[in-house]
A and B are shown apart, each in its own frame.
Chain A
């Protein structure tokens, strides 16, 4: 097991989390795809998928900007898998969600999408 990157998961911003994995300031790119719903009725379970068509992708990150800590998950991409992963995340409130691909040369590319969270009965 590699050491858990605590500082990445304590980062408050997208840029700081990306930096913790050796990525430069992220730029928006059509080569990265984020799949997430427009509206999440239940913020406790929000499906999110990150994919990239860039060559030499090393890490795929999924982040929620307005969560207490932005980083949700980091995936290490190898040649043996497609740069396409999906999981489910928690969201405290309506926020931009980011998928970031960090390539082996340290460049970071992102796609983002706003996901509205409506918490049933809580006036969200």
Chain B
């Protein structure tokens, strides 16, 4: 199981600024190991975010997203106490969901 995400959701003028740090290798599939063998691609392919259970953002990512990915977005009308949940899925089928409360 992958390490938890760090999610910060801050209320800002009627919206919530959400910043997420995920823990993931994001291996491109283009690098070779010391034996010259290609290291297989291993990266997050899909990300979704929900505001109080309602989906608000979906994303597709390729291997060019940096290791331990950062994501920032702004949820309209989210206020303190609201829940923001973020889920990712990688190309090996692993998935993780974490939730934060807007402050």
User: Hey, which bits of chain A sit against chain B, CB under 8 A?
Assistant: 1-2, 4-5, 8-9, 44-47, 49, 64, 67-69, 71-82, 84-91
How far apart are the CA atoms of A69 and B63 in the complex, in Å? 9
Q: Is the CB of A89 within 8 A of B76?
A: no
Q: Is the CB of B71 within 8 A of A85?
A: yes
Q: Is the CB of A67 within 8 A of B76?
A: no
B39 interface contact, C-beta 8 A = no
Tally of contact residues, B, Cβ under 8 A: 33
Q: Is the CB of A88 within 8 A of B60?
A: no
Distance (Å) between the CB of B25 and the closest chain A CB?
12
What B residues does A46 contact at CB under 8 A? Answer: 66
Distance (Å) between the CB of A12 and the closest chain B CB?
13
Q: Is the CB of B62 within 8 A of A73?
A: yes
Q: Is the CB of B75 within 8 A of A81?
A: yes
Q: Is the CB of B72 within 8 A of A49?
A: yes
Q: Is the CB of B60 within 8 A of A81?
A: no
Q: Is the CB of A79 within 8 A of B59?
A: no
